[in-house]
Amino acid sequence: MTANLTVDCSVEGVFEEDLTDYEAHVQTFMAAGFRGQQDQTILLERLQGPVLLVGLGLRAHAVADTVRTAAATAGRALRHLTTARCTLAAKSMPGYAPEEVARAAAEGVTLGAYHFAGYKSSLATRTRWLSALGPKFGDLESEGWAEGVQIGTAVNFTRDLVNTPANILTPTALADHAETLARNAGMGFRRISGAELDSGAFGGIAAVGRGSAEPACLVELTWGDPQQPPDLCLVGKGITYDSGGLSLKSPESQIGMKNDMGGAAAVLGAMMLVPLLAPSLRVKAVLPFAENMPGGRATRPGDVVTMRNGRTVEILNTDFEGRLVLGDALALAAESGPGAIIDLATLTYAATHALGERTAALLGSDQTLIERIERAAGVTGEPVWRLPMPRYLRPQILSQVADLKNFPGATTARTSTAAMFLREFVPASIPWAHLDLAGPAWSEEEYGVASRGATGYGVRLLGQLLRTYARG
């Protein structure tokens, strides 16, 4: 194979009960153990060229995520090609319109084909496989297909951000990416940094960023009339590297801490989808960016700071920095009077201990908003699990010398107490929900539509939520 070879490869989804349609290949199927089950693949040679069959399981059990996952399996199997043109043959699915199937397939193949080339010199000139993907699903010239590709592209944008090393993706560089996104999408943009950030109005963000040579900042992206309250405000934790500050993490725990801005990156990916999925909505993103480092000016355990909403916080552990930057960002978001606020953050190891590495913890103050998020997660196949915020835990966030403390002391229920801390910065009148992505934002293996490394978890979930808000 030469470096410039273009390969035309068809991909067909196969339900278990449809294997009889491939009589000429029965012996091949038997030899390979191919039965049309989910995640199974087999490559066949036909006169018109190669075809990759992907198992869909039983038709009666199929949902949109079945197609999405199968398409991701196909994209993963073919991404070693320098370029490829891929047409997926449509399959009927009970209860789903062809356009929905097309959208799921396009999302899946776009996500499965993803590869972070990184900084290996041998891959510097490699052509992205996805660039030659054909916008067609069987015989459907489908808006659903085109939409699915754009959704997958937004997820891959988020993956690229999270996978980028922290010496390259500094707080300033991440803010620059946000500004470029806003400019390209026709969104309003504001950056708060320097003296304005350090003036005392954002004590949490300033305290976290103080120990780093890289300056902290806070950015806002606004879609729709800025003079009107947003229908939805999205907040994301953007710690581009977390050493723990003076409460230094162990060397092993510092590995991978470039991903601590996964919440903010997911919000940026979702903002890319607003013009596509919810152009009639007013949407705002509030994103705090900082490095948490143990420099000479670093915040000390025991320091007290004043947050955006006037609450004072005693910082007992500088490695519990995420709730500090989010507290300021949530307070600022609340000032615009939004219909609802959702924050995303890689916040607590406790969420991973409780739910594993593929499920996000969901907490919040509003039952209706929580249920909407659960339904959106069900559609996109991004698991969430609701956790409580029982009143008896509240003393763990109260300080003897300030209004609040950032470190609960107790080793249990830390996902719940973190959310309870954040709730202090959102007025009770505003529906609020918190997604702790510490587990699913990153993966050491590929599964479903998730890539190794940054998974882009939350982008599609927020996109689906935006779609439902736009529909009313």
Q: Among this protein's residues, is 85 annotated catalytic?
A: no
Instruction: Report helix, strand or coil for 232.
Output: strand
CA-to-CA distance for 375 and 382, rounded, in angstroms?
10
Q: Which two tokens stand for residue 10?
A: 């068809």
Q: Is the dihedral of CA 376, 377, 382, 388 positive or negative?
A: positive
Report the b/e string of 289-299 with b at 16+ CB within 10 A: bbbbbeeeebb
Written as one string, the DSSP assignment of 168-201 is TS-HHHHHHHHHHHHHHHT-EEEEEEHHHHHTTT
Q: Which two tokens stand for residue 232?
A: 């939805």
Sequence length of the chain is 472
Among 107, 96, 157, 154, smallest CA distance to 133 is for: 107
Considering 68, 282, 284, 323, which one is annotated as catalytic?
A: 323
Torsion of CA 151, 157, 159, 160, to 10 degrees: 160
CA-to-CA distance for 70 and 78, rounded, in angstroms?
13
Q: Check if the beta carbon of residue 232 is closer than 8 Å to that of residue 339.
A: yes
Q: Which two tokens stand for residue 251?
A: 């060397």
Q: Give the contacts of 240 (CB within 8 A, at least 6 positions apart).
A: 166, 169, 170, 171, 174, 214, 258, 260, 261, 289, 290, 291
Residue bearing tokens 């249920």? 371
CA-to-CA distance for 330 and 327, rounded, in angstroms?
5
Considering 85, 128, 249, 394, which one is annotated as catalytic?
A: 249
Q: Which two tokens stand for residue 205?
A: 């963000």
Q: Among this protein's residues, is 126 annotated catalytic?
A: no
Q: What is the DSSP letter of 250?
A: P
Q: Is the dihedral of CA 196, 202, 207, 212 positive or negative?
A: negative
Catalytic residues: 249, 323
